[in-house]
Amino acid sequence: MELFDTALRIDAPGPSGVPVVNNFKLIRDSARFLLGRVGRFEQPVVPVTAGNGSIVVVRGREAVKQVFTDTATFQRAEGFFDLPPGRTWSGMFDAVITANGAEHTRRRKLLMPAVHRTAMTHYRAVFADTFERSRFAGADGAPFDLTRECLRISKANLMRCLLGLDDADGLSAFADQIVTLAAEASDPRVLLFKRDLRWSPYGRWLRRVAGAYDQLAALIAQRRAGEPRPDALSILCHAVDEDGDQLTTEEIAGELHGFFAAGFETTAMTMSLALITLLGSPDPDAAPVDPSTVDVDAVVKESQRLLPAVPITLPRRVTATVEVAGSPPVPKGALLFLSPLLEHRNPAVYPQPQVFRPQRWTAGEPGPKQYEFIPFGLGPRRCLGAEFADLQVRTTLALLLERGLPGLVGPRVDYGMVNGVTAGPRRPVPVRPGGPKWTVLTGSVTRVWIRDR
């Protein structure tokens, strides 16, 4: 199945250019393309190239609501990560995140216990302990990269909460292997010559997929044989729904792989961007944040609004020609995206949208309506790890405020895509415990963010 079909038409204005070139620009550098090219068009459906129906971006509350709720017409796009059939590891890319229809509903139901409120008590204790082991808690005074530390924290929390393995066990390489499989799949050397040979990049990638599966399958066997434990893996191994349905070993391995791919960098970047918004501002006249008055929830929401870690959701395939919130017909087969980045900058919902103002989220302000704040998507496909990520970011930030915030050493912050779907700082952001309390930032972040004066 081809990714997009440039023969499709839609009678709607959009950016000028060659469809295939614009499409690749959107996929490779979504944040920049959305803000620079798509953002000026305000109708409900904006083709990525005027008149061309191969890729469209949906805008505005009504359109966003229609797409998020009508999962029959707007389905998760298929065919990105096809593995050869008939192997134990063939389902490593099959998960709730890629499934549609009844299979999607079934998987969500069986996965729910792993992210249920009752599981969060254990996760919260792990998040606090991981913070204690981080460089944010140990004050040796040496500078370190804020984003890299957030990545380490997020990885350790996934290993500990999802797999029940301790980062200190030296299993970090295993986590790296799991999280890089999806990124490697879109490497042109892997994509363009799909022959399973001993020396080919595709063949080598398949062996890494198989190796990761074998390790996960061994862990699953251990958890099935053991007493129930509080980690997500154990919860899934012992979960049975009211009809006696259970996830198989192959399915659990695919889901865990999906959780790592969906939850690792997204959470780390959200944490990192929330911290950066506390520590500095591109606006030299802004007032520094007073740590004693910080409302963690409001700061996290405001940084997710302004600098979302997922600027564009995963693509949907349009399964029948359809009008979206009164748009001209969107052709069957189109690839469709929603954009938290653009929705979060709608001036009718967020006055002065470029201004970082946590007070928007506190009592007395009207705030957004449903479908106007969508960092995790909404509806039947809302992020399954949203509560896990929210709790992790808030626990870590609250502890950091208690201990004392570090200071930014280098002022440059570039917000942009760090992989196919996640945005964050694109270069190291050095910080130091007890460093400067306030920094005026430079870099591309100055184009997307102003602090309230």
Residue whose C-alpha is closest to residue 22's, from 335, 313, 324: 335
Is the four-CA dihedral 391, 346, 14, 445 of positive or negative sign? negative
- What tokens does 245 get? 């349905």
Whole-angstrom CA distances from 94 to 77, 99, 100, 113, 182 are: 13, 7, 11, 19, 12
When the beta carbons of 144 and 259 are compared against ligand HEM, the nearer one is: 259
- Return the number of the residue (146 or 389) whose C-beta is nearest ligand HEM: 389
Amino acid residing at 372: E
Contact 423, 375 (CB under 8 A): no
Based on CB atoms, which residue is closest to ligand HEM, 376 or 449?
376
**CA 227 to chain CA centroid, nearest Å:** 33
Residues 6+ apart with CB under 8 A from 209: 83, 89, 92, 181
| Least distance to ligand HEM, CB of residue 204, Å | 27
Nearer to ligand HEM among residue 368 and residue 375 (C-beta) = 375
**Min separation Cβ 211 and ligand HEM, Å:** 22
Beta bridge partners of 281: 440
Q: Could you tell me the end-to-end alpha-carbon distance of the chain, in angstroms, rounded to an integer? A: 51
Give me the least distance between CB of 235 and ligand HEM, in Å please.
12
Indicate the residue among 156 and 206 with the shorter CB distance to ligand HEM: 156
Smallest distance from the beta carbon of 310 to ligand HEM, in angstroms? 4
Helix (H) or strand (E) holding 253: helix 249-279
Are the CB atoms for 146 and 275 separated by under 8 Å?
yes
Which of left, alpha, beta for 333 (phi over 0: left; psi -120 to 50: alpha)? Answer: left
Q: Which spans of this chain sit near ligand HEM (rule: CB under 6 A)?
A: 96-97, 108, 258-259, 262-263, 266-267, 270, 309-310, 313-314, 375-377, 381, 383-385, 388-389
Nearer to ligand HEM by Cβ, of 150 and 429: the residue is 150
Tokens encoding 443:
């870099």
How far is it, in rounded angstroms, from Cα 58 to Cα 48?
10
- Rounded to a whole number of angstroms, the minimum distance from the CB of residue 326 to ligand HEM is 22
DSSP assignment letter at 159: I
C-beta neighbour count of 173 within 10 angstroms: 8
Shortest distance (Å) from residue 80 CB to ligand HEM: 13
Q: Report in angstroms how near the CB of residue 281 gets to ligand HEM at its nearest.
A: 22
| CB 265, min distance to ligand HEM, A | 9
Spatial separation of the C-alpha atoms in residues 221 and 231, rounded to whole Å? 14
Nearest to ligand HEM of 52, 272 (CB atom): 272
Cα distances (Å, whole numbers) of residue 453 to 89, 157, 355, 436: 55, 36, 9, 20
Considering beta carbons, is residue 289 or 384 the nearer one to ligand HEM?
384
In the complex, minimum distance from the CB of residue 335 to ligand HEM, in angstroms, rounded to a whole number: 13
8 vs 312 by CB, closer to ligand HEM: 312
Least distance to ligand HEM, CB of residue 206, Å? 23
Nearer to ligand HEM (CB atom), residue 95 or residue 429:
95
Which residue's Cβ lies closest to ligand HEM? 385
SS3 at position 402: helix
